[in-house]
Amino acid sequence: DYDATCARVVAALCGREPAEFAAEALRAMRAREIVPAGRTLAGAGTDKRVTLINCFVSPLIQDSMQTEAGLPGAGIMDALSVAAYALQMGGGIGMDFSTIRPRGAVVRRTASTSSGALPFMDMWHYMSETIMSAGHRRGAMMATLRCDHPDIEEFIEAKQRAGRLTNFNISVLVTDEFMEAVGRDDKWDLHFPVPKADAPGGGLEEIEGAGYVYKRVRARELWDKIVGGAYAHAEPGVIFIDRVNQLNNLAYCEHIHCTNPCGEQPLPDNGDCNLGHTNLAVMVERPFEPNEAAFDFERLRRAVSTMVRLLDNVLDRTLWPTEEQGTEARAKRRVGLGFTGMASALQQLGIPYGSDQAVEFTSKVARAQAEAAYRTSIMLAKERGAFFEYDRDKFCAAPFLQKLSPDIRRDIKAHGIRNGVLLSIAPTGTTSLVVGNVSSGIEP
């Protein structure tokens, strides 16, 4: 039952904690104030060979079947194996296929031509069909492709055929340059970095440092295809990838080109998505009472502190599908604290979802949660040390840090911080049900 699940999870995650903290974590879980994500709930404290991490991102996929020594990432078959291990142990995974040469490009080793990115995505799809995630559910995957890849039009339409790539969510990596071209109604070059002799028909034109143009389209027409597909088929999604990298706390030590399957956490190669949530639905005092209902912000802050500490423990208690994923996680100690039950809390407060008052309330909750999370991570740094890749000056210059209270920035400079990234507002599909069928994530 739920109480026994809470006891099992807390016992597994609090082995090195003082008894007082373990007792508070158990109380908060049983009160449904906090809830770890589904993989932690399902695996912590069991004898299953599963990961407690919800999702990962693949190593960079090299444009080669075999892994080429001395280059970043993994060859196509080795990257496929990494995905298989992640799915087998219960995690989802995201892959960026932008590095695979487009359809029709010459493959000199075999004196043939490339089949393009989409057929390789089919390989991942059928692998996922074969390997059930943790033995009892289909695996979840994300596929991304850059907006300037020559196969992008085929990618946009890939899931419009019934039954194709059903184990994938797909998203276009949209650059600032592309959006500017859309705004100006400019032409847009689809290109790939292969030698001119390997481009179909020799390519249209060379781009310095970027290979050859395969095709030239109107940026606005390509954008309309993306938006039209999303409207009619709910695919593809859009990831504003330049903004992701500009706003990343860890931009100084990593580059991001993919997300986890549901898109809430952009991750670097071998990155992990370690999720847990506060439940806003139980934090309203005198619910539904006109002029009396009030949100308990202090209760929220206590719950945040408990959940961040538990998430930091997950990183040391979980099994990793690959050694590289564990190394990446320990270097940066990412956690993804979110919340569930936003719309349920608004209902209890008598605030219409989507109103100006709801936006103001959501902003207050998000700020309170963010600042409590960062303060807890500073406290953990004092106790356990900062994350390995921490660089005080570079980290404190990150755009998100400028939104936090001056005392938080001052304390980070003085003491460091335990976790390189702290916040993720996930969909909370399963966990919203576990804590009483509250509203999912931020949605009504």
List the catalytic residues. 260, 262, 264
Which residue type is seen at 18?
P
Taking the mean position of all CA atoms in its chain, how far away is CA 360? 26
Task: Residue 375: name the closest of 317, 315, 331, 309 by CA.
Answer: 309
Rounded Cα distance between 70 and 141, Å, is 28
Does residue 439 contact residue 341 with C-beta atoms inside 8 Å?
yes
Strand order in the sheet with 92-96: 237-240, 168-174, 141-146, 92-96, 55-57, 272-273
The dihedral region occupied by 124, where left means phi > 0, alpha psi between -120 and 50, and beta the remainder, is alpha
Beta-carbon count within 10 A of 237 CB: 18
Angle at 158 (CA atoms; ends 229, 209), nearest 5 degrees: 95
Task: Residue 422: name the closest of 389, 392, 393, 400 by CA.
Answer: 400
Beta-carbon count within 10 A of 332 CB: 21
Biggest CA-to-CA distance, the chain:
76
